[in-house]
């Protein structure tokens, strides 16, 4: 069982990918959520998926599971899973060049080497991620990222980057049909 936990101390969304039988984790799901609550970490919703079906779910209040959530950084994990599927299906290779000397592998490992600023609070008007999400650049995020200059050789440094994920998605979109993520991945997970 793999837990992917995102958010801040006030809000958490947990994506749990499980290959275990439902009876083995049902109790641990409740125990896990309760342990977060003891640490004053409010958990809004938990969804446990196994390809083809929902194995378990938790919500802090009625009706919340019928609402849509902005996934923010969970999207990076889902994006990597989609890229992995595209690689397994033979549509991409980790050695494919995306931009300059930047390979798929570098983007998956957040090692593009781009001069990317992921800050939100410190200098929001200089932040690439704020411009990408909320500025005029938001109309084509991948194209915006591709305009950022290179600072380090690709694959030499890790730097958390929403830009790397968006550049990878632009590459996927250019290589495949637009319905690939939905048809070959998201539908199978009921996302």
* 52-73 tens-digit pLDDT: 677 777 777 777 767 776 677 8
Output the pLDDT for position 7: 41
Indicate whether 147 pLDDT > 80.
yes
In the chain, where the domains are located? 2-66, 74-186
Query: For domain 74-186, is the CATH number 2.30.30?
Result: no
Output the pLDDT for position 144: 95
Q: Flag whether the pTM goes above 0.75.
A: no
Output the pLDDT for position 188: 63
How far is the C-alpha of 185 from the C-alpha of 183, rounded, in Å? 6
What are the pLDDT digits (tens) for 1-43?
Answer: 344 443 433 334 444 444 444 444 455 666 776 666 666 666 6
Residue-wise over 91-129: b if at least 16 C-beta within 10 A, else e? bbeeeeebbeebbbbbbbbbbbbbebbbeeeeeeeebbb
Compare 171 and 35 and report the one with higher pLDDT: 171
């Amino acid at each position: 069982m793999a837990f992917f936990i995102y958010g801040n101390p006030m809000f958490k969304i947990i994506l749990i990918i499980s290959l275990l039988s439902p009876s083995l984790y049902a109790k641990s799901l409740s125990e896990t959520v309760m342990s977060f609550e003891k640490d004053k970490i409010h958990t809004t919703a938990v969804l446990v998926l196994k390809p083809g079906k929902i194995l378990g779910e938790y919500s802090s209040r009625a009706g919340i599971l019928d609402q849509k959530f902005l996934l923010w950084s969970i999207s990076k994990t889902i994006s990597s899973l989609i890229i992995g599927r595209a690689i397994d299906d033979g549509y991409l290779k980790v050695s494919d060049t995306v931009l300059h000397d930047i390979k798929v592998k570098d983007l998956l490992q957040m090692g593009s080497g781009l001069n990317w600023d992921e800050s939100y609070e410190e200098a929001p008007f200089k932040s690439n991620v704020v411009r990408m999400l909320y500025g005029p650049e938001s109309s084509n995020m991948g194209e915006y990222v591709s305009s950022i200059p290179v600072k380090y050789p690709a694959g030499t440094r890790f730097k958390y980057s929403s830009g790397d994920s968006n550049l990878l998605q632009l590459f996927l979109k250019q290589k495949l049909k637009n319905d690939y993520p939905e048809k070959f991945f998201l539908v199978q997970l009921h996302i």
